[in-house]
Structure 1
């Protein structure tokens, strides 16, 4: 199944992530879905968009902006699918849970905070 995000929602996603980067804070999946007002299936659409953005960032050899989106649970980490995605992109090797994943994610968040992304066309 292929999911698409509207151009308006895509631009809003990039804006939300840039605002979070500048303010040096993380967003939950739920908060992002609500802010973007994504239609159903919202979580699947957001996940597909974040994975696409991760692939674009990886191809451009930039820190992964999708790292700024986390679960609202106690772990304060992205969902398992995020780690599966970064493994596919060759950015992380290891199990999607545990200290190695948490440590890698924390360092990637710092890299995102410190990177200046070019304006999107």
Structure 2
């Protein structure tokens, strides 16, 4: 994974946006997050790296992956394929990254995130 730096404030904003989405039980698009977080360029790579890092933290803590709440705005309503490659590396998913298995796994992971009580952020 490439080294991408975001400020503590931007990281906290990312966690806050995801927590708000989780409590309202809705998903966020990458574009909406990029607009809200005002990340440094290249913003999409920065966001992707931050979401992958969060997935790693959640996986280590054996929690549902909050980064699953971020989706493409296309018709699929799924995260980008890189998300599935990331969760496959983390041992959470295996299968084709663009098929029904991925869509089904993502749907159940989103429900798990919605229903999980995360420890309060430090």
Judge same fold: TM > 0.5, yes or no. yes
Aligned to 2:71: 70
Question: Which structure 2 segments of 5+ residues have no match?
Answer: none
Aligned to 1:14: 15
Q: CA deviation at 1:48?
A: 0.3
Aligned length in residues? 121
Q: CA deviation at 1:21?
A: 0.1
Structure 1 segments of 4+ aligned residues over 6 angstroms from their partners:
none
For normalisation by structure 1, the TM-score amounts to: 0.98
How far apart, in 2, do the equivalents of 1:46 and 1:37 lie? Answer: 10
The answer to whether structure 1 residue 116 and structure 2 residue 113 are counterparts is no
Aligned to 1:39: 40
Question: Which structure 1 segments of 5+ residues have no match?
Answer: none
For normalisation by structure 2, the TM-score amounts to: 0.98
Contact 2:6 2:40 in 1 (8 A): no
Supply the RMSD in Å over aligned alpha carbons: 0.6
